[in-house]
Structure 1
Amino acid sequence: MEIFKVASQQLDTQISTQNTQNTQNTRAVEHTNNEQNTKNSTQTMDSKSVNETIKKLNEDMQRLETNVRFGYNDKIDAMYVNVTEANSGKTIRKIPTEHAMKMTEYFKEAIGMLFDKKE
């Protein structure tokens, strides 16, 4: 009889251990999902605040009657400055240059392929 009792206790211990491991794995997955959701919402808030800041800067530049405009490139997550000619609206200078922004985009993609990252 005692053999059955010991075997039963061992089985209960194994089941309890498995349940604990499953619970820990579930919590780890939930924690990872929560971190990812927080990161995504932070990026969305950052994007909104950047766009609002750029809009405000452009309004200020118009009030100062300058030919400087600000913008944001989503692909490289960076701001740029456009200096235009007053009469024709032709771009005099873009900082960083279009070429530099394309190179940055290319390198971000290359890093993503090499290291399996988005940045």
Structure 2
Amino acid sequence: MSDPNVIQQTEAQVKVTASPLRCITGAVISGGMSFAVYSLMIAIATNFATKPIHSVNPLVVKISSAVRTLVVGVFALGTGVFGIVAVGLLALGVQLLVQQLTKRKGNQN
């Protein structure tokens, strides 16, 4: 039932520690994704604004307005999440860099 190869593979995994370079790389990637989602959100919102709803039925107008708001809101949420992640990773990278520099100065004295 129990495969020893699976157990050995999980025990052999190495714990990856955070480094300033990894944090800054992640921040750049997340910031790029945030900008891409923001650009897509602006394009979608502009497209919705230029094409009004053509209906006399009030229920159709309300539902389509709600769907448009929901679509733009989801992309705005994605922009915010990726932006906050980018700022957090950048701050973590700076914190790790400062810790490494202070540790080196402490070891030299």
Larger relative contact order (C-alpha < 8 A, sep ≥ 6)?
Answer: 2
Q: Which structure: larger Rg?
A: 1
Looking at secondary structure, tell me which structure has more helix per residue.
Answer: 2
Looking at secondary structure, tell me which structure has more strand per residue.
Answer: 1
